[in-house]
Amino acid sequence: MAKAVVRAKSKTTMMAPDGVGGLAVIHDRRFEKDWVVTLEVSKEEADQWLVYLSAEGERQGWSSSSIGQLDGRENSGSITFRSIAMGGEQADFAWFRTRGDTLEVRAKPAKGSALSVDDLKALIQKVSDASLANETQPFFRAWHLRYDGLPWKGEVWLTDKLRLSAPSGVDPIPRTTC
């Protein structure tokens, strides 16, 4: 018989930037009881649903902090979304998933949040619809790449939407002649 996974609340206090120059404690909400919304996400969508949740939080202008417990048989965690514009924590989520099975999601508006239960349900429905439709959205991310070699001219397209190029607006490397 398989050994049951023991969920354990972290004894460590973890903090993350709160967006206004301070630090906010990351709470492990998995053990709270007062959830107002519960949802079971199918096995097929379970791998990606939390990614869609994070993307929707970003679209709302919220930052997030999370804590999780990863195990070979079961993963679980909690996520808190914050908004500087709306004044603090907005929504709390907890999630549980046995490997290869459905994802159980629990949610509630954060204490003191202006977010209503209906707003939260609408947000979850939006996330679920995007996940079910497998919606994607292009985004721009820039990284620095160190290149030592001959002067780089032009660009290299790795895929039809991903390219490596020399920095724009930078003076070209002076050429020397021998």
Burial class (CB in 10 A: 0-12, 13-18, 19+), 75: middle
Segment 95-110, tens digit of pLDDT: 999 999 999 999 999 8
Closest CA to 109 of 132, 131, 85, 81: 81
Tell me the CATH number for domain 14-132: 3.30.160.110
Ordered by start, the domain boundaries in the chain are 14-132
Specify the pLDDT at position 40.
Answer: 96
Average pLDDT value for residue range 41-63: 92
pTM beyond 0.75: no
Q: For 114, phi and psi rounded to 5 degrees? A: -80, -5
Span 140-156, pLDDT tens digits: 666 666 767 777 777 88
Residue 9 has pLDDT above 90, yes or no: no
Which pLDDT belongs to residue 1? 47
Give the residue with greater pLDDT, 87 vs 30: 30
What's the CA gap between 177 and 124, in Å, rounded? 63
